[in-house]
Amino acid sequence: MSSKKRPSHARVRVAIAALIALSACDGAHEKAGRDADRAAAAAAGQNQTGEGPNERLGEAQDRVERADAKAVEARADALERQGDQLRSQADLAADRLDEQARSLRDAKTPPTGQ
């Protein structure tokens, strides 16, 4: 069995949740869209009030990126569970082989013909 230290699932999930919470505010695309709307309004000599089309588009892009990140995380979790299951199965198979080897050694009889 391997004795490598891996980060706990809980610690990884907390870090990911914190990142998602931070990105749940105004995302990068939304902020860039807001800036583009303000620049366009200033160029047209208007005052920007409320959400403009670029800000709404940026917000949608941020939502898509967050959904993609969640999907990747779900796939990674599934692969990790599969790896854990395969590791457990391999450990059981190794234990059975060890037991067979022990039984074979214990059953060994002294040589005859002396």
The domain ranges of the chain are 19-106
If 0-12 CB within 10 Å is exposed, 13-18 middle and 19+ buried, where does residue 109 land? exposed
What's the pLDDT at 48? Answer: 79
Confidence of residue 67 (pLDDT cuts 50, 70, 90): very high
d(CA 53, CA 59): 10
pLDDT, tens digit, 9 for 90 and up, residues 71-108: 999 999 999 999 999 999 999 999 999 999 999 999 87
